[in-house]
Amino acid sequence: MKLNIDTTGKTFTVCRAVEEKREQGEKGRPGRQKTDRNTDELLWTVQVMVLDVSGGEVINVTLAGNTAPKVTVGAVVVPVELEAIPWATNGKNGVAYKAKALNATNAKA
């Protein structure tokens, strides 16, 4: 099930540089970069702050692509097809976020 998020009235600001999404490694070493199950494209994570009239929240957004997304810290972006993905593993649970792209705007935070 896809839970698409309405981004109307929300501002998204990049607050951490793009990072490779990695598998858990052994003995403290990072694992290899994860890939999308359907497309085999590399996965990337971008931390963004979401702000609207009710307040703000920091989320990590996963993006797929064979090159890293071209966004910089402080850039205001617009997520394309942002979706929420609830998860539960080993008694822990949360929400992951995925988007097709983060389009830069001309605005600065």
Question: pLDDT at position 40, please?
Answer: 94
* pLDDT tens track, the chain, 109 positions: 679 999 999 999 999 999 999 988 777 777 899 999 999 999 999 999 999 999 999 999 999 999 999 999 999 999 999 999 999 989 999 999 999 999 988 765 5
- Among residues 40, 12, 1, 33, the alpha carbon closest in space to that of 107 is found at 12
Residue 1: the pLDDT is 67
Please compute, for residue 76, the number of CA atoms within 13 A of its CA located in the half-sphere on the CB side.
8
CATH class of 3-108: mainly beta
